[in-house]
Amino acid sequence: MKQNLATRLAIYTILLAFLIGTLVSAVTIYINYSRTITELEETAAQLLELTLDSATAAVFQLDPELADNVLSGLMQYPLFVRVSLYDELDEELATISRPGQISSPLVEFLNVPNVEMSYDLPLGGEGNQAGRLTALLDLNPGLSSFYDQAALTAGAQILLAIALAAVIFLVVVYLITRPLSELARKLAATDPGSETQLSIEGLHTNDELGNLTDSVNKYLAAAFKYQGQLEQSTQRVQSILDNLREGVLVVDSAGKITECNRAAEHMFGYAHDGAIGVPIVALVQESGFRDFEKLLFEASRYSQTGLRCQATRADGKNFLVEIAVARFNTPGMDHTLWTIRDLSEQEEMERQRRELEEQLRQSQKMEAIGTLAGGIAHDFNNILAGISGYSELVLVNAEKGKSVKENVNQIMRAANKASQLVQRILTFSRKQKENRHLFNLADVAQECVDLIQQAIPASIKVTADLGEKNFPIFGDESMMHQVLMNLFANSSSAMRNNPGELTLSLQVRDKNQNSGLRRGSAGTVQIIVDDTGPGIPESILSRIFEPYFTTKSPGEGTGIGLAMVHSIIDNHGGRISAENRVVDNEIVGARFTIDLPLYDGEHTPMTEETETKTDATPGSGRILLVEDNEMLAEMFPELLGSLGFEVELARDGEEGLAMYKDQLGKYDLIITDQTMPKMNGDRLVRAIFDINPEQPIILCTGYSDVVDKEKVLAMGVKCFLNKPLTLDEISRGIQEALS
């Protein structure tokens, strides 16, 4: 129900008058209340003080009859409900009381608390007391007249407010609302496209209402003049919107679509005007709701914002879109303009580009491994020769009764060196998705130097200057391996079998200054790779980073190595350059320089990890060992037995699962290989966890492209070990699994 201006003004006037009257009444009532309370208490105090001498005499003489007479006199005052007289030992000499009086329901409702009054009765010198006189004062009967006066005051204020509102209501109705209503009625019945003019009664022709009527008439004339132009302009704008490739939506404050061009209808699969009234959130895939809500929030605060997210067509199919949202600058129009671009085709092209780039990267890795293969095979054969030779010494010394401990230690050191070499090769060659995290570039550089030393001829000397040995980088560690190994391979290939020197250095540049790179303000780390080869011909120096450009003969290389290096460095926000080193106008080698931004966010300071070795710890319990390799199947039970464990052997996953089911609860620990016939280790683990999710399990592997440590631990496995294994590693793994 609508309220007219006069009604609202009357209501507001009543409320205002009532509020002011209430405040004035409240102050007046409070003052009267305080004065009344004070007067009542002063009267009671005067009566008590007049009887102090008589009360003192009654206490001094210990005369109960005199005490009753004193108290009876005090009880003549109607507000006293109890009076008492106590001797010097504070024992009651006399007491008179009566019930309180309730004069009205209001008094009973308010119920002002009684007042305790007490007087000491002096005796003789200072500080001596004959006793004590107390009285309980009930103020409620004395306040009856005050309550009546307060009620009359409040009623008078209400009547005054009503009377004042009535006067104002009549004045406003006659002078304002009645003529305004007549003017509004005429305006509502007027067609803006006609020449009709409004009129008002003569009483208001020259006042504000008359001026308002003239202004409305001018507005109607202007509206009639520009209505045709507005219709033509609307048609032109709609034609432009319908011919745009991007979808355009207008969304109101409730989040519903109010306008939609043809491109948006086609993009989302709606018929003509079919999207009108559809909530805008219905066009966004559920997984994008969080970002979408953020977009709505930003659109309500800022003039323009946007994002990329998955959108949903009317048939339920999803596709990638880019959304830009802008607020209308028109005052009083709480709408937003949504411009939507379909990125489905662009997304597919980007996916194909990433796949091709990954294939090129992996192909380039294989090319680099092919370059290093000869040196790696040479170093690996030297390791095998050491193992074979020391094994023969063990046999010879054993036959002669000599100690073989040192020979066995040499065999173990050689095996460990071979294991590290294999791990470095696998790390470099493994095909994996980009995985960016915080790492120390010095650690990566040292690993690459160790690997290249084993892979290139001994005639090439490798030196490294790692500077501070702490260069925090946020990026893909495997890709940084690839960059350095490619540069090393190119340099060693340039020097071929001639004596030479390969030098790597790391140093911080522009520390605490803007590096000029795309990201990072903590400075840059500069990587310099120098060689003493013939250098790079000036005619091709500017082309060496082009894809498929190579100076090698067919079959020697694909020409994608340096191109991929350039791509990786660029994706990490860095830059790479190549030049010849010149001394006395003579080329003495080539130099590659890389600048990468140092990580400038908050992080835990990096510390160099040190390997700690512990002695094998004896234990006890039953272990089920699942291993298909003949040699390891014979060796592991003996090693585990030396630690004090009882071992049962299964030759594949199916046999291991059958033994576990037949003897549930018998085994304290399961140790299984990953790659086995019939059933792999990860499948065996899942099958055992289906039976007993709390079963401790250790998974071992020499190499697998199916599982890694992260995946294995996520399955619930207690420990993941890489072969080959030492007795110390096995012992630590068992302790970790059983703890």
- Write the Ramachandran bin of 104: left for phi over 0, alpha for psi from -120 to 50, otherwise beta: beta
Q: Residue 513: pLDDT band by 50, 70, 90 thresholds? A: very low
Is the Cα torsion angle 377, 380, 382, 385 positive or negative in sign? negative
Burial classification of residue 623, based on how many CB atoms lie within 10 Å of its CB (0-12 exposed, 13-18 middle, 19 or more buried): buried
Side-chain half-sphere CA neighbours of 392 within 13 A: 5
Model pLDDT, residue 197: 66
Contact in structure between 85 and 59 (CB atoms under 8 Å): yes
Quickly count: other Cβ atoms within 10 Å of residue 710's Cβ. 8
Model pLDDT, residue 558: 40
626's tokens: 């699942």
b vs e for 375-408, b when ≥16 Cβ sit within 10 Å of the residue's Cβ?
A: bbeebbeebeebbeebbebbeeeeeeeeebeebe
Q: Taking the model in full, what pTM does it have?
A: 0.36
Contact in structure between 285 and 376 (CB atoms under 8 Å): no
113's tokens: 């608390």
The whole-angstrom separation of Cα 150 and Cα 7 is 30
3-class SS string, 273-323: CCCCCCEHHHHECHHHHHHHHHHHHHHHHCCEEEEEEEEECCCCCEEEEEE
**Domains of the chain by residue range:** 5-148, 244-342, 351-597, 622-738
Is the Cα torsion angle 625, 626, 631, 634 positive or negative in sign? positive
Residue 368 has pLDDT above 70, yes or no: no
Amino acid at 279: P
Q: Residue 575: pLDDT band by 50, 70, 90 thresholds? A: very high
User: Comparing 689 with 104, which gets the higher pLDDT?
Assistant: 689
As a CATH number, domain 622-738 is: 3.40.50.2300
Helix (H, G, I), strand (E, B) or coil at 641: helix
Query: What are 587-596's pLDDT values in tens digits?
Result: 999 999 999 9
As a CATH number, domain 244-342 is: 3.30.450.20
Instruction: Give the lowest-confidence range in 422-426, 464-468, 472-476.
Output: 422-426
Model pLDDT, residue 188: 66
Query: What are 116-137's pLDDT values in tens digits?
Result: 888 888 766 556 777 888 998 8
Query: What are 319-347's pLDDT values in tens digits?
Result: 888 888 877 766 666 777 888 888 877 77
The whole-angstrom separation of Cα 553 and Cα 556 is 6
58-62-68-69 Cα dihedral, nearest 10 degrees: -30
Out of 3.30.565.10, 3.20.20.150, 2.60.260.40, 3.40.50.300, which CATH number does the structure's domain 351-597 have?
A: 3.30.565.10
What's the chain's average pLDDT?
Answer: 76
The whole-angstrom separation of Cα 280 and Cα 277 is 9
Out of 3.40.1350, 3.40.91, 3.30.450, 3.10.450, which CATH number does the structure's domain 5-148 have?
A: 3.30.450
Contact in structure between 732 and 718 (CB atoms under 8 Å): no
Asked if the domains at 244-342 and 351-597 fall in one CATH topology, the answer is no
Residue 296 has pLDDT above 80, yes or no: no
Quickly count: other Cβ atoms within 10 Å of residue 428's Cβ. 19
When mean pLDDT is compared over 86-90, 142-146, 190-194, the highest value belongs to 86-90
Residue 424 has pLDDT above 60, yes or no: no
